[in-house]
Amino acid sequence: MAIEVRRIILEQHEFQAVLNVFAQMEGSDFPEGFVVGFEIRNENPLQIFVDIQSPDGAQVGVELAEDFIVEALINFCIQTKIPVSRKSKKSVRLSDGKISFDMSLINPSFSTNI
């Protein structure tokens, strides 16, 4: 059985841009505003603390768990037309100071009988 893996690796400033795109999305649970920075609180499972400046100038801090980070990355992929399989297992981790977004899919129809 073959496993397809797609990995997107983001520098921390690129991941901050992902969060800013998510903050502008309507209907998101993410506070509206501009992400001014974030801090990695835990590596496994990944948790980050995000500082957001709201439109009225107030700063708000939000703790993001791994599932919320994955949601932000999926949204970014959709916005930038990067294909995302609905059936793939999605995970995120910190690797060498970079954010790594993995999508893996088991393909039972893949055959080695050539």
Helices 12-24, 66-79: crossing angle, 10 deg rounding: 80
Report yes or no on 62 lying in a domain: yes
What pLDDT is attached to residue 46?
Answer: 92
* CB of 82 closer than 8 Å to CB of 8: yes
Report yes or no on 113 lying in a domain: no
Report yes or no on 112 lying in a domain: no
Q: Per residue in 4-44, pLDDT tens? A: 888 999 999 999 999 988 888 777 777 888 899 999 998 98
Residue 68 phi/psi, 5-degree rounding, is -70, -35
Number of domains in the chain: 1
Report yes or no on 43 lying in a domain: yes
Report yes or no on 86 lying in a domain: yes
In this prediction, residues 45-57 reach a mean pLDDT of: 91
Q: In this structure, what token pair is assigned to residue 69? A: 């980070």
Report yes or no on 114 lying in a domain: no
- How sure is the predictor about 108, in pLDDT bands with cuts at 50, 70 and 90? low
Report yes or no on 59 lying in a domain: yes
Amino acid identity for residue 89 in this structure = K
Report yes or no on 81 lying in a domain: yes
Residue 13 lies in domain: 2-107
